[in-house]
Amino acid sequence: MSMSKIVKIIFTFFVMVLFSGITIAQKNIALKITVAVSPEMQNSFSKGGRLIFHIINQNDREVKPKSEATIGVTPDNWEPVKSFIIDSKNKNVLETGLEKLSTHLSEKYYCHITYKQNVNDGNEKVEDNLYSETDSVILTNQTTVHLTLKNVYPPLKIVDHRFVKTVQIKSKYLSDFFGKDKYLRASVLLPSGYFDHPEKNYPICYRAPGLNGKYDQINGMINKKDFTDWWFAKDAPQVIYVFMDSQGPFGDTYQVDSENNGPCGKALTEELIPEIEKQVHYQPQSKKRYLAGRSTGGWVALGLQIFYPDFFDGTWSYSPDPVDFEHYGLIDIYHDSTIFYNKWGYLQPGKRTIYGEPTFSMKEWIEGENVNSRTNDYRISGGQFGAYNAVFGPRGNDGLPTLMFDPYTGKIDHDIAGQWEKYDLKKILEKNWSTLGPKLQGKIWIWTGDMDGLYSNVATRFFQKFIEKTENPKSDAIIKFTPMAGHTQEWSDKAVITMVAEKAASNKK
């Protein structure tokens, strides 16, 4: 090939790249959203909240959390009597997903906006946060939207049912930590024979919810006919089933003591649980106090059993969050340089299908949490990594959680990562097996899918390797993996309750 032809090919290539860039730039979507607060909501408005705008291409399902694009901004000194304008091109405004919508101009989409102002709960769809109605919009290069915050999310309500109890107490430990009144709450599902034999000491199981789950999950259980038919059958297991609540200012508290969320584990075991058991006449000396949970709840169930080995008498942990931080998904937080790219330079996947296809990168995941946080980073996102960071990491000088990794580059701060070790469940057992091992005999059941969508099974595999090598005592923990099963795919409350009842029956105390 002649030199002139080579030059021509190179020139043509750069022209194509140049014009391709121009085309893409021309298709970029600029959104301007005018947000008003209705007169009825102005007295419910608090300064300092986060506006979160969601856009989706369907109107037959809730806009959040399956948004195609999200925009977030924290208004500065916004007075609710005035409208606030969000410009997606403003440097203080974060967005994710808009670039993917640039090829969908002239199409109809649906949108709404939330004002996240509840300082006691890091999540979006929770009590006291304001939100707009869902509206439609036609995408253009310069799209304008007008939305009004005219609704407020109400407090949670627990179903009114004879066999359901609600327990709420003021926590002295948490109130002292935060310098204001803090409350703990739980809902209790009583066994079918409870009122026929009120004097009986029933086994009790504390069910930890998945990420950011609340104690109102009991509503879904009691409203499912197939479950209630089973629960109230003559041969139904006789277990008191308690639904815990994970509310925290930075998202899920994981029910453990931490520098940012306060003494949650101490408050649970010394305040809330004693009050629950007093009300249902449980006798602690019977040693039939159990734990169960899936996903985040799986970590909580296993973590509480390890942190309080004498207090709890057995745990059923399904698809737990990473129990080994050297395998934090596919990341080694102690040695890797960044969470965004693996050691081969490829984008680190955060989610996958059961066939191994990556569907979501860690970079995209954190970008989404940054958008949802009033600090423009993931610390108060209310999401998975906001919660991890608050529970496992130290408190910063500004009173907020420190960042274990940079929110924009993913670079890991190994000084902070090293402080996460005290929540690394495998390391805890490795360092303390001689004292913890005997106390955990007959108390650990773990099972998970071997194609966990969050790669959490990897950590569980290495946890199992440690368990298999234990001596004095040789652990009898039961750890099972289901081939080709995804995250929490096989979870069943019925199965767990049945196993709890069988375990309790084997305990003759």
Q: What are phi and psi of 167, to 5 degrees?
A: -120, 125
Reported as a pLDDT band with limits 50, 70 and 90, residue 15 is very low
In the structure encoding, which two tokens stand for residue 27, read together?
A: 């298709």
What is the mean pLDDT of the segment spanning 47-66? Answer: 77
Buried/exposed code over 111-127 (b: 16+ C-beta within 10 A; e: otherwise)? bbbbbbbbeebbbbebe
pLDDT one-digit tens code per residue, 283-329:
999 999 999 999 999 999 999 999 999 999 999 999 999 999 999 99
pLDDT over 80 at 432, yes or no: yes
pLDDT over 70 at 493, yes or no: yes
- With pLDDT > 90 as the criterion, what percentage of the chain qualifies? 87
Which of 365, 372, 361, 364 is CA-nearest to residue 93? 372
What is the mean pLDDT of the segment spanning 69-79? Answer: 96
pLDDT one-digit tens code per residue, 479-492:
999 999 999 999 99
Return the CATH class of domain 164-324+424-506: alpha beta
Reported as a pLDDT band with limits 50, 70 and 90, residue 60 is low
Which of 242, 265, 243, 241 is CA-nearest to residue 253? 265
Reported as a pLDDT band with limits 50, 70 and 90, residue 509 is low
pLDDT one-digit tens code per residue, 380-397:
999 999 999 999 999 999
pLDDT over 80 at 172, yes or no: yes
Which stretch, 8-17, 52-61, 174-183, has highest mean pLDDT?
A: 174-183
- Which DSSP helix (H) or strand (E) runs through 211? none
- Domain ranges for the chain, please list them: 8-152, 164-324+424-506, 328-422
Q: What pLDDT sits at residue 1?
A: 54
pLDDT over 90 at 416, yes or no: yes
pLDDT one-digit tens code per residue, 442-465:
999 999 999 999 999 999 999 999
In CATH terms, 8-152 corresponds, of 1.20.81, 2.30.30, 2.60.40, 2.40.30, to 2.60.40
What is the mean pLDDT of the segment spanning 326-344? Answer: 97
- Which DSSP helix (H) or strand (E) runs through 317? strand 315-318
Entry pTM:
0.92
Sign of CA dihedral 99, 105, 109, 113: positive
pLDDT over 70 at 25, yes or no: no
What is the mean pLDDT of the segment spanning 73-87? Answer: 96
Question: What span, in angstroms and rounded, lies between the C-alpha atoms of 440 and 437?
Answer: 5
- Which DSSP helix (H) or strand (E) runs through 9? helix 3-27
Q: What pLDDT sits at residue 16?
A: 42
Give the type of residue at 370: N
The larger pLDDT score, comparing residue 10 to residue 246, is at 246
Q: What pLDDT sits at residue 496?
A: 97
Reported as a pLDDT band with limits 50, 70 and 90, residue 28 is confident
Q: How many residues does the chain have?
A: 509
Residue 319: Cβ within 10 Å count: 30
Question: What span, in angstroms and rounded, lies between the C-alpha atoms of 181 and 409?
Answer: 38
Reported as a pLDDT band with limits 50, 70 and 90, residue 102 is confident
Calculate the CA 308 to chain-centre distance. 23
pLDDT over 80 at 6, yes or no: no
pLDDT one-digit tens code per residue, 188-207:
999 999 999 988 999 999 99
Three-state secondary structure readout of 131-149? ECCCEEEECCCEEEEEEEE
Question: What span, in angstroms and rounded, lies between the C-alpha atoms of 190 and 165?
Answer: 8
pLDDT over 90 at 22, yes or no: no
Mean pLDDT over the full length of the chain:
93
| Residue reference for tokens 């002239």 | 106
Q: What is the DSSP letter of 417?
A: H
Do 31 and 70 form a contact (C-beta atoms < 8 A)? no
Calculate the CA 201 to chain-centre distance. 34
In the structure encoding, which two tokens stand for residue 63, read together?
A: 């806009």
Strand-pair partners of 306: none
- Which DSSP helix (H) or strand (E) runs through 262? strand 262-263
